[in-house]
Structure 1
Amino acid sequence: MAGNAEPLSPRAKLAVTAGKAAAAVSRAAGRGSGSVIGGRVALKLDPDLLARLATHLDVVLVSATNGKTTTTRLLAEALRANGEVVSNALGANMPAGITSALAGGSEARYGVIEVDEKYLAGVARDVKPKAIALLNLSRDQLDRAAETRMLAEKWREGLAGSDAVIIANADDPLITWAASSCPTVVWVAAGQEWKDDAWSCPSCGGVLQRPAEDWFCGECGFRRPTTTWALSGDHVIDPYGSAWPIQLQLPGRANKSNAAVSAAAAAAFGVDPKVALERMYKVQAVAGRYDVVQFHDRDVRLLLAKNPAGWLETFSLIDGPPTPVILSVNARGADGTDTSWLWDVDYTRLAGHPIRVIGDRKLDLAVRLEVAGLEFQVCQDFDEAVRTSPAGRIEAIANYTAFQDLRRRVGN
């Protein structure tokens, strides 16, 4: 266990105070939580502040292109069984946001930190985590994060020789390759629904073979490692063969996968799987995701889907027709400005659903749906989309900034 917090230097104290003041001003001006601007100010005054704030914590980092915010919440809840936790629960996952979160955790024992994929290796160097959970890598924000294998290679190089216990999804070849440079890896059979980013071997470029639940490269021999934890239906199988039931308020197979990785990570900190999984049931929603809200006398469920892998998982949560669906896509900085990923999503899964299309890039999405042969209606805004949708609970699926727009509109 990490020791108690050491007193901060005068410079570090000044940085924390200035950061909190900047965050307060940002909140008062109605410009969000202020965590990012607060962290930027603090790091400007003390560039080593992130490392200083983490010295007394047992830290676990969580990174992926899908599921990291939810897994961070589930894991934080599990670790609270053993002590106080500080976490960037609202998803501010770059160094500035992480610094702001840790600045409020002087009494905590654990730090459960979601990290943007691009910054994982750097944050790991700063905070010296005890564990790192790696879930998946798929195409996301192509203009910023580039090609997935390049990102896996950065992880592989940046985490090589790490003292941390790596909890890695063995069903994702890119994750397996990235984690294979680390001396201590706990392999989890967490599943992989989206496979279109991992048909070629990340080690040699050969074609991966994917029989049943396995995968391997016939050219270089790179293959799926033997797992010690596994998601099996509604249970997590631990290294001793015991099956622990997953009972979540969060829907879908993807969240069971997140729970399996979280249980394996919690075990690295001494939390029993039974206790960890029972505590995860407390998580009802994650930063508004999965919330059902009342809007114009209609029940609307808010769902986030940022990339093709996320859309695929989200479609599996929707009941069959005639459930109405609203789709909203933006392409602002936080989303990535390249919307070519829309063509990788199998929208034919929505055949038969009444579809309404909104968002900054509604016409891009409309062209995609037209080519898919789906019937839909383009609307000017969320209000029109809700009012014109037929009876029944509405499923609203949006990418990152479009999701935030919906939350603001419904006052969530």
Structure 2
Amino acid sequence: MKGAGWKGTVARTAGRASRLSGRGGTSIPGKVLLRLDRDAIGTLAAGLDRRAAISATNGKTTTAAMAHAILARGGAQLVHNSAGANMAGGIAATLLYGRGDTGLFEVDEFWLAGVVKGLRPQALLLGNLFRDQLDRYGELESIADRWAQIVKDADPATTLVLNADDPLVADLGRERWPAAEQAAHDSAAGAPGVLTFGVEDTALALAGLQHASDSTHCRRCGAPYRYDVVFLGHQGHYHCEACGATRPAPDVRATAIHLDGVRGARFTLTTPAGSADVALPLPGLYNVYNALGAAALTHALGAPLADIVAGLGAVAPAFGRAETVTMDGRELSILLVKNPAGANEVLRTLALEAGEHDLFAVLNDNIADGRDVSWIWDADFEHLAGHVRRATCAGTRAAEMGLRLKYAGVPADRITVVEDGLAAGLDRAIAGGDGRLFALPTYTAMLQLREELTRRGITGSSFG
């Protein structure tokens, strides 16, 4: 992008120096640029015709990839932080090096306020809020309060794209209209400046709230929500009997959903522009939610329904998000697990697969994972225990992962704990078995796995 001048030159030089030193350079140029010019994101973004931002606890990388696939079909030239650098420095670096007419940025939940202020997106997607890295970000309500302030401060021209099924997120739409108008919009679509999305297929409902359910009390009055339908964690159809708050009717919705194990999903997509069938090459209900978010966001940016359907049908998985590679004659599918709600959906998807499975579970407690790994006891590994043939556990907390699987009901003689590093664990997991191996890594373990597969020549260079 143009407009950085000598400051951009200094930032690019810093990035080259960082790469030459072997430390990488994805975010360094942006960090340097922001120290030189605190308004750099706004200055660089001003040259884009369209700008969109995506934030969520789960799924923002995949949702952004879906939106990219849709917008590219319409001829957009994307400036997109596809490498996953989603804090302010990474976004500034993406703008510094980017060439295009449309900005598409996934943004870390904690950094969203500053990015939105500079970016001034035409569309802002807020996907979900789940318990994740509490030692880093605090309780969900504190993040919801930050997001509420972002919504209040956002440009009135920004369209809010909100998950109707997540009560913490859906409630943010109230910030967009006066109190006197709230009742007219609480239970109906069409609120000004707000586009909502959600699942309407009650056949996929769970029996009740899971252990991983987080947002179960009304932000308006504090009373517990009554759930009529639960789909994923605390996402579903809900209402508050105390104050009357209720799930808004979604503008973009999915019906007739069919989940085909790890292979993909099919559903009928309805938007304000019409309805069409979608064949999604990514698995799980969680990816149906990601697809709905991407469809709503791109609809807000003017994408036609045909491009939305075609883009969703052609999207490729981001690394670690249901990507499959071949190693030593075996398929290795990599499914990121980083918090209870996300892990439960991965486990739910694997449970749909026939037969017994080989698992490679890698649990790290590095800063980017969150030091507190007690979340694994809230994830329902019990659902998969009867489907496990072999489980190899690695990572900085390999022993605790092994213990969790044992208590979930996996026989002890089917669990192997490898404490000699990820590479040794991968060798142990891949050897002696047959069929597909499912890797379940936490965030930094996923990055390490990518580096190891690249070192062995199995995947391309890491993150661009």
What is the TM-score when the length of structure 1 is the normalising length?
0.92
Give the distance between the partners of 2:247 and 2:114, measured in 1 at CA.
27
Seq. identity, %: 33
Contact 1:134 1:167 in 2 (8 A): yes
Structure 1 segments unaligned to the other structure (5+ residues): none
Secondary structure (helix, strand or coil) at the match of 2:286 reads helix
Give the distance between the partners of 2:251 and 2:331, measured in 1 at CA.
42
Q: Could you say which residue in structure 1 is the equivalent of 2:260?
A: none
Give the distance between the partners of 2:337 and 2:18, measured in 1 at CA.
28
User: Does 1:98 pair with 2:91?
Assistant: yes
Structure 2 segments unaligned to the other structure (5+ residues): 178-192, 230-235, 258-266, 460-464
Contact 1:246 1:256 in 2 (8 A): no
Give the distance between the partners of 1:273 and 1:211, measured in 2 at CA.
30
User: Does 1:276 pair with 2:308?
Assistant: yes
Give the distance between the partners of 1:285 and 1:229, measured in 2 at CA.
22
Give the distance between the partners of 1:326 and 1:83, measured in 2 at CA.
39
Secondary structure (helix, strand or coil) at the match of 2:143 reads helix
1:406 to 429, 446, 449: 449
Q: Could you say which residue in structure 2 is the equivalent of 1:78?
A: 70
1:334 to 355, 365, 368: 368
CA offset at residue 190 of structure 1?
A: 4.2
CA offset at residue 77 of structure 1?
A: 2.0
Moved more, 119-128 or 166-175: 119-128
Q: Could you say which residue in structure 1 is the equivalent of 2:270?
A: 237
Cα–Cα, structure 1 residues 28 and 247, in superposed 2: closer, same or farther, change >3 Å?
Answer: farther
Secondary structure (helix, strand or coil) at the match of 1:333 reads coil
CA offset at residue 405 of structure 1?
A: 1.1
Q: Could you say which residue in structure 2 is the equivalent of 1:133?
A: 125
Q: What is the aligned-residue RMSD (CA, Å)?
A: 2.0
Contact 2:71 2:307 in 1 (8 A): no
Give the distance between the partners of 1:224 and 1:157, measured in 2 at CA.
21
Contact 2:392 2:425 in 1 (8 A): no
Give the distance between the partners of 1:77 and 1:155, measured in 2 at CA.
27
CA offset at residue 51 of structure 1?
A: 1.0
Secondary structure (helix, strand or coil) at the match of 1:214 reads strand
Secondary structure (helix, strand or coil) at the match of 2:52 reads strand
Cα–Cα, structure 1 residues 317 and 40, in superposed 2: closer, same or farther, change >3 Å?
Answer: same
Q: Could you say which residue in structure 2 is the equivalent of 1:214?
A: 237
Higher strand share: 2
Secondary structure (helix, strand or coil) at the match of 2:165 reads coil
CA offset at residue 126 of structure 1?
A: 1.2
Contact 2:87 2:107 in 1 (8 A): yes
Give the distance between the partners of 1:248 and 1:15, measured in 2 at CA.
43
Deviations 1:93-122 (A, max 9, x none): 0000000011122x4221101000011122
Q: Could you say which residue in structure 2 is the equivalent of 1:147?
A: 139
Deviations 1:55-90 (A, max 9, x none): 122211100000100111111221221421101011
CA offset at residue 131 of structure 1?
A: 0.6
Give the distance between the partners of 1:110 and 1:190, measured in 2 at CA.
28
User: Does 1:198 pair with 2:198?
Assistant: no
User: Does 1:351 pair with 2:344?
Assistant: no
Q: Could you say which residue in structure 2 is the equivalent of 1:88?
A: 81
User: Does 1:109 pair with 2:101?
Assistant: yes
CA offset at residue 176 of structure 1?
A: 1.0
Cα–Cα, structure 1 residues 389 and 146, in superposed 2: closer, same or farther, change >3 Å?
Answer: farther
State the AA in 2 paired with 1:15: K
Q: Could you say which residue in structure 2 is the equivalent of 1:42?
A: 33
Secondary structure (helix, strand or coil) at the match of 2:27 reads helix
Give the distance between the partners of 2:323 and 2:237, measured in 1 at CA.
35
Q: Could you say which residue in structure 2 is the equivalent of 1:362?
A: 398
Give the distance between the partners of 1:214 and 1:74, measured in 2 at CA.
25
The equivalences for 1:171-186 within 5 A come to 171-183=165-177, 184-186=193-195
Secondary structure (helix, strand or coil) at the match of 1:290 reads strand
Q: Could you say which residue in structure 2 is the equivalent of 1:395?
A: 438
1:377 to 388, 404, 416: 416
Give the distance between the partners of 1:229 and 1:314, measured in 2 at CA.
24
Contact 1:189 1:229 in 2 (8 A): yes
CA offset at residue 387 of structure 1?
A: 4.0
CA offset at residue 384 of structure 1?
A: 3.9
Q: Could you say which residue in structure 1 is the equivalent of 2:47?
A: 56
Q: Could you say which residue in structure 2 is the equivalent of 1:157?
A: 149
CA offset at residue 29 of structure 1?
A: 3.4
> Which 4+ residue blocks in structure 1 deviate beyond 6 angstroms?
191-195
Give the distance between the partners of 1:369 and 1:130, measured in 2 at CA.
45
Secondary structure (helix, strand or coil) at the match of 1:201 reads coil
The equivalences for 1:299-338 within 5 A come to 299-318=331-350, 319-338=353-372
State the AA in 2 paired with 1:407: R
Cα–Cα, structure 1 residues 41 and 324, in superposed 2: closer, same or farther, change >3 Å?
Answer: same
Secondary structure (helix, strand or coil) at the match of 1:317 reads helix
Moved more, 196-205 or 290-299: 290-299
Contact 2:44 2:96 in 1 (8 A): yes
Give the distance between the partners of 1:190 and 1:135, measured in 2 at CA.
13
CA offset at residue 371 of structure 1?
A: 2.4
Give the distance between the partners of 1:154 and 1:322, measured in 2 at CA.
44
Cα–Cα, structure 1 residues 344 and 253, in superposed 2: closer, same or farther, change >3 Å?
Answer: same
